[in-house]
Amino acid sequence: MKICHVVGARPQFVKYLPLNLATKKLNRECAADLVDVLVHTGQHYDYNMSRLFFDELGIKLPDYNLGAGGKLQAVQTAEVLVKCDEVFNKEDPDVVVVYGDTNSTIGAALAAVKLHIPVAHVEAGLRSFNKFMPEEINRIVVDHTSTLLFCPSQSATQQLQNEGFRRVLDNGKLMSLDYKFSDQSMIDKNNPMIVNTGDIMYDVMEHALKMAQSQSSIIADLALGDINFTLLTIHRAENTDHAEALKRVAEYVTDITSGGQVICPMHPRTAKACERHGVQFGSNVRIIDPVSYFDLLMLLESASGVLTDSGGLQKEAFWMKTPCITLREETEWIETIDSGWNVLFGTADCWPNAPEFVPSVYGDGNAAERMLHLLQLLPEHR
């Protein structure tokens, strides 16, 4: 069976890792004969936004790089679609796996379904209910073109049922690791299947945290050893594309951190926006270049709180018991709010009161194993 994975943006490289490791394990231990083809769309292209992640996490280098970075949304999406079409025609995979909600995700999914290749969507069923976000449109379209919908939580499976999907495994409960499928459960394109696999980012964290603790030197490098600091990340279009929105974020950061040290690894989009809009953060905000995954985990573990508009960081903060304020009006990761670890800045003028308990709502760290099990149930495409 040939499985083609398409990635392009920073978090997608990380999400691919557990599936690649699980594939190698199956081939080694069960003679599974799975062929794994990795396509990088090139959406992220700077060394520390792309190659650094491959080097640090030991991810295999892509088999293809489509060079679709640094373009306008429509051009980027169209380029991913056209170039993926060429790759899929050449490789003829049995399934295409896409991740999350980026322009790379939608471009690859459209290319695959137009060639009648089934799509498996990792991180299905998430919604912000804000159609001004490019990511929201990408999520909706990709879910509705997918054959396998891998949901990170039970609430995501419920959302897909609300949108008319009918086949949900085990009422959206976390799939049992020894689940036995009958022939009737075989999955086909006109019968998409929703499965709560748990969140693949939890697999990654379990895998990477110990390595990060032994390999990252960022806390010492930035002399943060005994210092109380807040971690800040901003990159969403809704916060960066308009001067007023970016100024509002900068003012909020100043108010909520009251002069305490803030470390901000700055995304290139945000750096460009600050320059364009003439926005400056307070003098307590230390701006650094984008950091590696290990460094990010260590900053998050040591920070007293995190201010972010990233989806991944909200969950990582939750798992690490670091209080989080999300710099958005809404979030897809509602469980982090419900459990009291996260608040939205539109509604919060203070940090959440960190509760002791972190509920296990995003699976058990074995999402990739479940996903591979399901991928192998797909009928051969060729």
CB of 269 to ligand UD1, least distance (A): 4
Which C-beta is closer to ligand UD1: that of 131 or that of 272? Answer: 272
Closer residue to ligand UD1 (CB): 101 or 143: 101
User: Tokens 């040290």 belong to which residue?
Assistant: 261
Query: Reduced to 3 states, what is the DSSP secondary structure of residue 150?
Result: strand
Q: Which is nearer to ligand UD1, 268 or 352 (CB)?
A: 268
The footprint of ligand UD1 (CB under 6 A) covers 9-11, 43-46, 49-50, 69-70, 101-103, 134-135, 235, 268-269, 272
CB of 311 to ligand UD1, least distance (A): 7
Compute the least distance from the CB of residue 208 to ligand UD1, in Å.
17
Looking up tokens 């799509």 gives 119
Which of 40, 44, 121, 235 is the catalytic position?
Answer: 235
- Residue 152 CB, nearest approach to ligand UD1 (Å): 15
Shortest spacing between CB 334 and ligand UD1, in angstroms:
18
User: Cα-flanking dihedrals φ and ψ of residue 117, to 5°?
Assistant: -95, 130
Active-site annotation holds for 5: no
Q: Look up residue 3 and give its DSSP letter.
A: E
* 259 HSE (CA, 13 A, CB side): 0
Closer of 268 and 282 to ligand UD1 (Cβ): 268
Please give the structure tokens belonging to residue 157.
């499976």
For the beta carbon of residue 32, count every other beta carbon within 10 angstroms: 14
Question: Within 13 A of 164's CA, how many CA atoms are on the CB side?
Answer: 4
Question: CA nearest 253: which of 291, 228, 280, 224?
Answer: 280
Closest CA to 218 of 275, 270, 265, 169: 265
| Neighbouring C-beta atoms of residue 24, cutoff 10 Å | 14
Pick 46 or 330: Cβ nearer ligand UD1: 46
Q: Are 9 and 44 in contact (CB under 8 A)?
A: yes
Annotated active-site positions, please?
Answer: 235
